[in-house]
Structure formats: structure tokens, C-alpha cells
Structure 1
């Protein structure tokens, strides 16, 4: 019989503990049970109704500037408990300190950014979206788009890899826009999200109902959604398909934001030689993307395209750097990469890796290196594996299967047209990074591939010490991608058309897809 505490849910304005035994959260390295969560017995409709009527009303009564100030207060609360969050991340996510920082400090930075941006909006309670447009000869008949808060709630169904940043990168713009948030964290790493929400709730810095949390099973969670609510999901394409087909979305037009599987790529200029600055930058970035968060990032590099003449040199250079990565218990001072989030994820990665091996050769196999302070029969530790394909045009799984762990595949291309065609076989990705010393090359191929990527990360020698990395999502840039990556655009403030003049008229709510953002350095 487990004695682990059952974490309560903050639901309908009060803490409520679910019934039943609940679902267990574990230390993914030591295998010990840490806590349990349960949503069983909650009145789900009551929680959504409370968020809309109490939290939403209270938030909309404030200006953008006032709501931005609330975000600033949330940052202060979280900063005071920062060390506790690091301890939880180590215990429940198996991350080394630098990886915990990506999640925890990344979340705080994002919150702070929205607080600063919102402060510039001052006393505004609605926002103009673009300039007025004349609709006729008489200048009094014009159209003006404005942004106003939706009168619903935002349901955030989050992934296991970023329990902090995944919460705040969605919650910050929603709260700033006057929309109450209901967060459903992934069960395996729910402890950190729960603790952060608990600290904010107990500090009393937000109106009651503005922030709610439900942990455990998601059964029935989408049933109470109504037309003006928003659901935002981050996770697998399989679960995304279930969400899209739910009656709330398919029949009642609940707005749905999805971020799913993404087989991101990196492209090396064919003019780059082995040992050149562009070549070294690609090698460095591939290793970083394979090992940060143990490769558990939606933006991580999965496919690495290099000229055929550089295939062997790239394999050797990447492998040499991967050989320096020590894997094991993140509490050990010599460990550079911790574990996956659970044994279930361990099994998923192993199965995916086996599938990819049917189409690729193994260029570097880190599994031969012993783990530090970790029992391989218990710990969810997976060492980096670099696969390779000399003929990627003949592959299928390599372009469509995302193994969510420290795995990447090196691919040879014969000419840049073939490289572009192979990159497009990913069917839409969150990020593509291009490595070259030639600004013209970067500009041409960024433009050519921008339509199938949410972000183009251009890396030239000039930005080598300045850029934040292929997979680092910054709040200044839009995050999302087309196709299988599932376009993500937040619609907390839907656009409304108003025609001022002699006869003011209002048109229906519309949510326009946002343009692809291209993030380039000095090119």
C-alpha cells in the first residue's frame, strides 16, 4: 500500500483531493515513488464554469497593464521558491541542473517578458489590430480590427518534458489577455507544475479562478468545453488526433491549438569544408540538441543533412563529442546528461530506435558506456545514439518518425535541390537550422523552406557566440509549425471587425493564422 501523498487539485476556487488510489509519480533514476495524483470525483463542469464566471470576469475587469503587473508578481513568487523547483526537477524529471534551468528559468524568463510587454499597453482594455481601412467612397465608412478577450477559459493540456516552461509560455499570454487558465500537466512530471501553481495560489497574487490545476486522468476533461473556450495541447500526434476529433472541437467549434510530432532538421552548406566554422557549428549544435533534456525537446534536431563528401567527417566529429557525454544520476557531479522522464518513455524510445535502425546504420552507440550511479535495470537513462543514412531518399521512417530522446540521424545529400526535397519529407516542422558562412546561401534556402517550418534558425560564424541555439524557444518569436508539427497560434484575443461611422456595425469573431516567423542572425 502506497504512503505517497495525494496532491490536491485547485478546482472551482478551492483545493480538492481526488478520490481513489491515484496515479503514481516516480523518480526516473532511482525508481522510488514520490507522490500520487487523482482527478477522480471532481465536478469538471463546475471547475470550468467557475473559471469562466469568476476568474474570467475578474481578469477582464483589469487593463492590460494591470494584468501585466500581476504576471510580474507571479515571477516574484516563483523566484522565491526557485531552489525547491530545482530539487523537484532532479527528483521527478531526472534532469541535471543545466537542463532544469532550461525549463525553470526559461519559464520565469518568458513570464517576465510578457509582463514587460504588457506593461507598455497601459490602461488599454482592447487593442487595435492594424490600421483602419476605407470600405467605400465616404471616409466615414471604415473597418477597424480590434482585439478583445474571449469570454471562455483556456484549457492547457501540457507535455511531460517542460512542466515549468510548458505551463508559463501558454499561461502568460492567456492571463495577460484576460483569459483564465486551467492547466492539466502530464502525469509523469506533474509535481513541478503543481508546486508552482500551489505557490502562486497561496500567495494570492491572481484573482481566484484565474489559475486552476487538475492532475491525473484527463478522462472527460474536454466534455465541459464551450464554444468560446480554447484548448491548447502539446504532445503526440496520436493524442492530438483524439483531441481534434472530440465533439467540442469538431462540432462546437472550440478553438484548438496543437503542437505535435516534429522531425526537425539541420542543413549544412555544401560549400562548407570539414573543420570550417560552419561545419564545427553544426557539430556543436547537433550534440547540444541530442543531449539537452536528454533529447526530450519538441524542437530538437532529428535529421542532419550534410554533403555526401562530408558524411564520414561529420559522423566522426559528432561521435567524438558524444563520447564525452557522461550519463546517469543527475545528482552525481560528473554526470552531464540525466534520464528520460520515466521507464515508460524509456521503452518508447527503445522501440522507436529499433524501428529507425531498420533504415539506418549506427554511427555512435553510447549504450556501451556504463551509467554513473544509476542501475540500468531501474533508471530511465538512455545514452546518445547517432544513426546514419547514406541514401536517405530510400528511407521512410527516418523522415516521419520522431524518437523523443537523445537520437539523431545523419543523412548524406548529393545536391542542394535533393537536400531541400528530403527536408520537406518531414511534412512540416517546428525548426530548421541552416549552417553557412555565406549570407546569400542562408537567405535563399531559408526563403525556399520557410513555408514548411515554423522557424528558420540561421547560424553563421558571425552569430556563433550570440545565438541561443536551434531548439531554444524565445518568447520574442512565434512558436509553432505547419503540417505534421501542427500550426500553433494563440487566440486569447480574437480579432473582431468593427465598422465605425454613421452606422457602427460588428462582424463575427475571426482567428487568423499568424505568418511564419523567420529568425536569422546577421545575414
Structure 2
């Protein structure tokens, strides 16, 4: 039998009060949770003094790579997790969302972080802000690791996904993590966590695990540098968020609460349209996947009043085909709720909602943790608040009728904030009206028609690259969102000073900072040899009329400002000017070194601006300044290791006026392999 133990200060705590953890399928013990006596003050101190410093020594990319490698390690062991997961009541499909979905989410956050964040221990965010007339006083935002602990209190419904979607961005941000999952299903979270420790991929002290029903005095011990992320019921979340110490120390608290999400059938949709079938399929799927135990499930089904019979009949017919049973069986489409206690709570919530509403569908499966899907109908969706505020956390939806599109929007927003809403329509005017009307009350809004349905990820699927959270009842928090997920865990700081001082602080070139001319052409230097602020000032080139004419012929760009003197005289410039892309090409000719060397290729350019015109007779010159560097992982098919180098390019004319500026990316060979490189 699995022994779910706390992992605190680098040790498994094997002694304590043993509590049986019950299988949702057999109603028999499947694991035992050992609830030890934990000194939370010491656990937090260990994370802050051991794990935190080790993470902060690493760059964001190094931390992101550790999450990538951890995800690969866990994915290799997924079948073990699937076997255990069935005891939580999850079918194979349900478990995929939790297990592989959680690992894929960690992969996604890792990838986005390496693509969009600095390869430094901190992130240099956005452009510099000029704060003085001469440019000697500048501002720069950076995001730095907090010197605290990320405490994650997770719900029972997604033991793996819920843990990984919070843990990955926290670790990448540089914060050690203490995980406290719900005891229900915690044996699955514990098995995954145990493998994380055994992998030895993350530095010691960066992750700890609490096996307990309640977090004791953990929240009393937090300081302003710590953070709390909670997923669960709105009532519990509000109680924890209002903890006196959380308020006294202004401890950041991200609350992601269950919400009464809705799906709307557009007024344009008729039963013979593809959008109708897609709508019915999605509502039933969201009712039955994870037995409706999803914070994003469709709790309110909002439909045109003249479609009540068609919709309720279609829902009933489809629900009749759902096979309820042991989730380990391939034919099973819906397993039990997570526990008999959850089933009892679901029954109570259903009975409360049932009062005053019409029961459209209700099976008779109610044994142990098992229940059946249920559909309620509200003819008048404005009557009573329960349907908009009480969430039956299971396979139930309430059908609500509307007469106008404006009324559908009002009904959708009556839940006072939701994680996600969706709309099924073939009319983009309706889509615009509903989406913009619902947007202030939702964290995510999905619009589906026949064109997007095939590749849609679905109403209830949070995506690593998109934000997850919602206003009001949904908690007012925000998670995920690609690289944003990492920045949520960091402290944003506005630095002020001279450009050179700021450059030396953040280790990234700041516009206006002093530069040092390279002792040889920088394209002849390896990645490791290049230094931030290193520069190359090129020779000069005078642009001729022939240059402009030949570029027009070569490119096929015969725009009048470049080729027609009479028309050009009436233009903004008053005369013939060179093509912007000629200036770009001529600049490359000035700074490119033709000889073979460590530079591999031009990887692209960013933020191109043609600031001033260049006319025949003008003389241009370029300055190439090394802005920042990113190490790239050497993969099996790569012939040698390399990195990406970002160069600021400033192109000036004979009056030293900037005519063009941009950032060019080059791939540069590295001399040495690193631990991140695949063998």
C-alpha cells in the first residue's frame, strides 16, 4: 500500500498519524497518509536559505531547462500514474488531461520562458524609458526572483496538473515551492512528487511536500517575500485569503476558485446546423469528463427560448449513451466522483438547485461515490439566485432560456465572474456582441463554429500559453499565460540611472550606454567570447541614384517615392528617397564579415524602424552593439553547440542622425558543451 509521506527539509517523514485514503472505485483503502508533526517555520526557513539561493544562482533558461528535463523524466513513468489515477475515479481520458496534460503544461511554460524571457537570473522587461532630455537618466523595468517560498494549496480534482501548472513557473521564476495537495487523490500527486525527488533534477531544498488534511500554522509563518496560490472552492479560498497574517504582511495570494461557467447557444443556430451538434457534444463532454469535477465545467447552459425542447431532448439522448462504471474499463465514459463525501455534497447541492426548477434528466446511479448526470431547466433565468451562485461540483448543468442576445449576455454575467465562457454561433456579429459583452466577467472566452471546431481544444481546457483565472466569484487571480506565468511569481522593479550603470546592473545593453569597440570582428568570436556592450562601427557608404534604380529593378519595388521624381516631389519627402529595405540590405553589407567563422547565420530581426529618409548623396554608417545572449540547447542532430546573440543596430547618416534601427539575431557557435546539451 502507498504511504503518502511529507517531504520536509530533504527528508521523508515516516512517523505520524496514519489516515486511510479511500479508492473512489472500490470504497476501500488504496493508500495511507502519514500526517507528521511538521515544524513549518523550519520548513520555510529551509526553502528560503537552501533552495532559494540555489535557484537564484541559475539563469531563467537553466531553471526552465530543469523543468523540461523533469517533464521528460515524469513522462517516461506515466503508465504508473495512469494505474494509480483510476482509483481517483478518472477514466483513461480523464487521466490524460491530468497526467500528460500536466506534464505538457510544464513543457509549454518551459518553452515559452526560454523563448520570451532573458537568459539571466532575472528578466529585463520591455524597452528603456528615457527620463531626461539628453538621455543621461533612464529607466528600465526588470523582474527579479522573490526571496521567499511559493506555497501551493491544490484541489483534489487534478492531482498532477494542479501541482505542475503552479510548480513549473514558480521554479523557473527562482522560487522554491512547498506543495500541499488535498488528501483526496493525494496518493497520485505524491507518487509524481516522489519521482521528482528521485530524479535529482531540481536542486535540494527547492520543493517540499505536505501530507496533511490542513496546513497547520503554515500561513502564520509567511512573510512578505512569500506567495500563496490556492485552487479550490470559493468559500475556502476567501477564508484563506482573509487570514490575518496574509493581510498583515501583504502576502501575494492567487485565488483560482470554482465558478459557474456557461456555454451559450447563439440565436442564429438551428437544430440542422453543425453548430447545434457541436454545442450539445461540448455540454455533455463538460458534464461527464472527470465526472464534472472541473473548475471549468459548463454549469449553466444558456439557450434561445424557442430551442428548449430541441436542446433538452438532444442532451438527454446523448447522456443516455454515457456508460458509467469502473474507470479502468475501456467502455466506461464516466467514473465515480472522487469520494463518497463528494457524492454526498453533490447530492445536497443538486437538491438545493432542484427546488423550483424542472428536472430534465436524472439517472438513478447513486452507489458509493457513483452518481449520474443531471440536467435542470430554468424557464425564467432571472428568478432566484441559486442557479447563478451555487455550484454542484459534479455532472450537472442547468439549462437557462433567453429571448434576446442582450439577455443571454446578462444571464452569463449573473454568476459575477467565471473562469471560462463559450459561445456556439455561425454569426460573427453575434460573436462580437456576446464576446465583448461577456469579456469583463470572464478570464477566457471561447467562440466555436464549424471552422474552428475540428482543432478546438474545448471549453474546459486551460492552455499553458493562455491565462487561466477569472474575476469575481472565480477568485480574481491569474495563472498560466506562457511566460506571464513566470512573471506572476517575480517582483517587478523599476530601475533608474545612467544608461551605462543600468547596463552594468542588468547585464543587458541599454540604449545610450557606453560601448567598447571589438578587438576583432565580433562574427569571428565564439559565443562565450562575446561581451555585452561590445560594438563594431562599420565603414561608410554613400548612396547613389544608381543604387536606388538597381534596387527597384532587383526587388520589383517601383513605388513612386523611389522611382518617379515628379510624384516624389509631392510626397512627404519632397524628393526621391532610397527604399528602406535597400538601407537594411546595404547596412548588412557594411557589418557582415565574409569569412568563415563562429557565426552561423542570420536568425531574424526585430523592432525594425525606418526613422529618417535616406536620399541619393547621403552617406550611411552602422554600429553593431551586442545587446544580449541566449544559450541554445544542443540537440542530437546539431553538429555543434551554439547560442543566439541579439545585436542592436543603429544606422546613421552623414549628420549623425539615426535613419534606421533594429535588433538582429545571429546564431553563434559555442566552444563548450553544457549540462543542458543532449548527448
8 Å CA contact retained: 1:68, 1:119: yes
Q: What is the match of residue 486 of structure 1?
A: 475
Q: What is the match of residue 37 of structure 1?
A: 33
2-side partners of 1:123 and 1:257: how far apart? 27
1:319-358 superposed matches below 5 A = 319-358=316-355
Q: What is the match of residue 372 of structure 2?
A: 383
Residue 218 (structure 2) aligned to one of 221, 227, 236: 221
Residue 429 (structure 2) aligned to one of 440, 454, 474: 440
Matched, 1:196 2:192: yes
Q: What is the match of residue 71 of structure 1?
A: 67
Matched, 1:86 2:75: no
Matched, 1:59 2:48: no
Query: Residue 392 of structure 1: SS of its match in structure 2?
Result: coil
TM-score by length of 2: 0.71
Q: What is the match of residue 271 of structure 2?
A: 274
Residue 360 (structure 1) aligned to one of 357, 363, 367: 357
2-side partners of 1:315 and 1:124: how far apart? 56
Q: Deviations over 1:357-397 (max 9, x none)?
A: 01311111122xx6xxxxx54x3011110111111111210
8 Å CA contact retained: 1:498, 1:504: no
8 Å CA contact retained: 2:276, 2:424: yes
Residue 108 (structure 1) aligned to one of 94, 103, 108: 103
Q: What is the match of residue 8 of structure 1?
A: 5
8 Å CA contact retained: 2:424, 2:447: yes
1-side partners of 2:127 and 2:118: how far apart? 20
Considering Cα pairs closer than 8 Å and 6+ residues apart, tell me whether 1 or 2 has the greater RCO. 1
Query: Residue 382 of structure 2: SS of its match in structure 1?
Result: helix
8 Å CA contact retained: 2:258, 2:296: no
CA separation of 1:122 and 1:142: change in aligned 2, threshold 3 A: closer
1-side partners of 2:315 and 2:461: how far apart? 20
Q: What is the match of residue 428 of structure 1?
A: 417
For structure 1, the residue ranges without an aligned partner over 5 or more in a row are: 371-375, 506-523
TM-score by length of 1: 0.91
8 Å CA contact retained: 1:277, 1:437: no
1:51-200 superposed matches below 5 A = 51-91=47-87, 93-120=88-115, 121=117, 123-200=119-196
2-side partners of 1:242 and 1:496: how far apart? 30
Matched, 1:209 2:198: no
Cα offset for 1:5? 5.4
Cα offset for 1:325? 0.3
8 Å CA contact retained: 1:18, 1:42: no
Structure number with bigger Rg = 2
Cα offset for 1:113? 1.1
The structure in which a higher percent of residues are strand is: 2
Cα offset for 1:18? 4.4
Q: Deviations over 1:212-245 (max 9, x none)?
A: 1111132222122111000000011121122112
2-side partners of 1:434 and 1:339: how far apart? 29
1-side partners of 2:410 and 2:160: how far apart? 36
8 Å CA contact retained: 1:67, 1:118: no
Residue 402 (structure 1) aligned to one of 387, 391, 394: 391
Cα offset for 1:134? 2.8
Cα offset for 1:424? 1.2
Residue 450 (structure 2) aligned to one of 438, 461, 465: 461
2-side partners of 1:179 and 1:96: how far apart? 34
Residue 314 (structure 1) aligned to one of 295, 311, 314: 311
1-side partners of 2:159 and 2:324: how far apart? 22
Query: Residue 137 of structure 1: SS of its match in structure 2?
Result: coil
8 Å CA contact retained: 2:123, 2:144: yes
8 Å CA contact retained: 2:10, 2:204: yes
Q: What is the match of residue 290 of structure 1?
A: 287
2-side partners of 1:237 and 1:122: how far apart? 36
Q: What is the match of residue 516 of structure 1?
A: none
1-side partners of 2:255 and 2:391: how far apart? 16
Taking only aligned residues, the RMSD between alpha carbons, in angstroms, comes to 1.6
Query: Residue 113 of structure 1: SS of its match in structure 2?
Result: helix
Q: Deviations over 1:289-347 (max 9, x none)?
A: 00000000000000011110111110011111011001111123321100110011000
2-side partners of 1:248 and 1:110: how far apart? 32
Segment of structure 1 superposing worse, 473-482 or 355-364: 355-364
Cα offset for 1:124? 1.9
2-side partners of 1:502 and 1:172: how far apart? 34
1-side partners of 2:384 and 2:72: how far apart? 50
For structure 2, the residue ranges without an aligned partner over 5 or more in a row are: 480-487, 503-679
Q: What is the match of residue 438 of structure 2?
A: 449
Matched, 1:235 2:232: yes
2-side partners of 1:226 and 1:395: how far apart? 42
2-side partners of 1:286 and 1:267: how far apart? 10
CA separation of 1:308 and 1:200: change in aligned 2, threshold 3 A: same
Report the number of matched residues.
492
Cα offset for 1:504? 7.2
8 Å CA contact retained: 1:89, 1:100: yes
1-side partners of 2:434 and 2:409: how far apart? 8
1-side partners of 2:124 and 2:71: how far apart? 28
